[in-house]
Amino acid sequence: MTRDDGGDERSGREPLSRRQTLRTALGLTAGIIMPSAVDLNTARTMAADTLDPPRDAPMTFEGVVAQARRLAASPYRPAPDDLPAPLAGLSYDGYRAITFRPDAAPRLGGSFSLQLFHRGFLQKKRVALFLQPPDGPPQPILYQSGLFDLGSDLAGQDFSRDLGFAGFRLHHAFDDRKPAHQEEFLVFLGASYFRLRGKTQEYGLSARGAAIQTGGPGAEEFPDFTAFWICEPKAEARAVTILALLDSPSLAGAYRFVVEPGETSRMVVTASLHPRAAIPRLGLAPLTSMFLHGANGPGARGAAPFDDFRPQVHDSDGLVVATKDDRLWRPLSNGRRDPQISAFRVDPLDGFGLLQRERSFAAYLDVQARHEARPGLWVTPQAGFGAGAVQLFEIPSREEYMDNIVAAFVPAAPVTAGSALDLAYTLATIGAEPDTAVLSALARVVSTHVGSAERLRPTTPPSPERRLYVIDFEGPGLPTGPDGDIAAEVSASAGAMVDPVVERVPQTGGWRLYVEWRPPTPLPPGDVILRARLMRGGRPISETWDNAA
């Protein structure tokens, strides 16, 4: 694995609040419901003009692919701006007050149920929703005001049946002995964003259908899922299948999501993408998260500290990129003056993910947010991922409600109009490691701390620019005794990494590396890349720690 330094690649855009539309959804989630069956399909509704659902047969993935192909062959038609004024004028609190009635949630098979999101406030676009029975044509889900408690701002209002919905969420009975006790585990709401969680996890980072021009060149484009077909599972099914149609000015696409909730929830994604235009930077399997500050502070050189009682605030604390020969851990960073792109070349890619490795409540002290319970997401390619790079985009932010981290695979081959990209991958929610979804023979980096080297290694006269990095490793391959004959391999793209010391940490059973970075004078523009890994017998026994200083 090699790394392209994105230190000089900048975007002048103002940071976008990706989290803003999703935070509203979190305020609406009830978590646990007791659903009852209700017939939402007593009549048909008009779907978007671009849809052509089958009238006498089930919708299939191949059918959605055909629709995406037809869309891509035609000029893009944006969704009409037809949100009624009372809904468009809602405040955040007014929208939060709209709640779906749990007793109206249709059952799906023996252990799933469905809830719907109302349009309004920031959720202006209509999404066409269908229930797909095992046999027969898809049945459109009709809007009815009575499905919702509309709150005091909309009391007495009634809206047309063609209003539609903003998105949906699925619930599941994680305990087979309590099929009526269902918890939310998946939400699709806003553009092509969706969130997935395991049984004991809280919602955190998001995934997306596609990322277009994230970090430039040009303005970022946010494709929309415009229609979903939710396939009714059999009574004993442990997974549910969702078909989706995506559209944007540059791209149309078809998706199939096969989702199996559990302690680790898994989603198998199959996609067929059809560009209308050349796309200089198309992000596949994109992940979007938040990093405000962590164990090593914001992480960027010269960044302002946060005046926060909480030691750490983040949904993810690092990026992992895995190939056959290497496994890299990049701690996330915040506080730069400008957005930053880092690219990690892979050919082929074994997997990548944004993970939350700090799992202690004491590291966060946030009773409501429960950052320690937020999942990571791990992407395992199955088809369609060749040569390319995993790109990490970091936006400076002082606001924890902003998703300022994006990671995605960007193909090396040009994406041209009229071409087709067929891909498949799995997504797995990752909690405390080791986790079966991301098992490796290499020890993993579990924390990075940085401070003045003068504290432990004083010099005369003092040199305050010297920095001491303390990197903790845990996991397989590490000796269990103090005499492990472990060495450190370290490097810096500028300056020098000096005096590495490795020792066992009996309190955790892991190993710790202390290494000092002496920056050059003057400092070069952009980031300086520091690397370190543990070696034994001339072979690496840990991930490669890759840090932007």
- Fold category of 444-548 in CATH: Immunoglobulin-like (2.60.40)
Residue scoring higher pLDDT (4 or 64): 64
pLDDT of residue 30: 34
Task: Annotate 120-186 with three-state secondary structure.
Answer: ECCECCCEEEEEECCCCCCEECCCCHHHEECCHHHCCCCCCHHHCECEEEEEECCCCCCCCCEEEEE
**What letters, b where the CB count within 10 A reaches 16 and e where it falls short, cover 498-525?**
eebebebeeeeebbbbbbbbbbeeeeee
What one-character-per-residue DSSP string does 353-385 give? EEE-----GGGT--TTT-GGGPPEEEEEEEES-
| Length in residues, the chain | 549
pLDDT of residue 28: 37
Rounded average pLDDT over 423-446 = 93
86 DSSP β-pair partners: none
Options 2.40.10.120, 2.70.98.10, 2.130.10.10, 3.90.1150.10; which CATH number does 19-33+58-438 get? 2.70.98.10
- Asked if the bond preceding 434 is cis, omega within 30° of 0, the reply is yes
Q: Is the pLDDT of residue 295 over 50?
A: yes
Rounded average pLDDT over 422-436 = 95
Rounded average pLDDT over 123-145 = 95
Q: Is the pLDDT of residue 47 over 80?
A: no
**What letters, b where the CB count within 10 A reaches 16 and e where it falls short, cover 170-206?**
bbbbbeeeeeeebbbbbbbbbbbbbbbbbbebbbbbb
Task: Please determine whether the domains at 19-33+58-438 and 444-548 fall in the same fold group of CATH.
Answer: no
Amino acid code (one letter) for 71: L
Q: Is the pLDDT of residue 318 over 70?
A: yes
Q: Is the pLDDT of residue 121 over 60?
A: yes
How many other CB atoms sit within 10 Å of the CB of residue 324? Answer: 11
Q: Is the pLDDT of residue 13 over 60?
A: no
Measured CA angle at 424 (ends 423, 430), to 5 deg: 135
Reported confidence tier of residue 176, pLDDT bands at 50, 70, 90: confident
pLDDT of residue 44: 30
Reported confidence tier of residue 462, pLDDT bands at 50, 70, 90: confident
Q: Is the pLDDT of residue 48 over 50?
A: no
pLDDT of residue 1: 54
Sequence-distant (6+) residues with CB within 8 A of 322 are 328, 349, 350, 351, 352, 438, 440
pLDDT of residue 50: 55
Name which of 44-58, 312-326, 467-481 the model is least confident about.
44-58
Domain positions in the chain are 19-33+58-438, 444-548
Sequence-distant (6+) residues with CB within 8 A of 243 are 59, 60, 61, 64, 132, 228, 229, 231, 254, 255, 256, 257
Asked whether the beta carbons of 255 and 269 are under 8 A apart, the reply is yes
Q: Is the pLDDT of residue 278 over 90?
A: yes
Rounded average pLDDT over 117-139 = 95
pLDDT of residue 196: 98
Q: Is the pLDDT of residue 483 over 80?
A: no
Q: Is the pLDDT of residue 42 over 70?
A: no
Q: Is the pLDDT of residue 113 over 70?
A: yes
Q: Is the pLDDT of residue 349 over 70?
A: yes
Q: Is the pLDDT of residue 407 over 60?
A: yes
Q: Using one digit for the tens of pLDDT, what is the confidence trace for 151-167?
A: 999 999 999 999 999 99
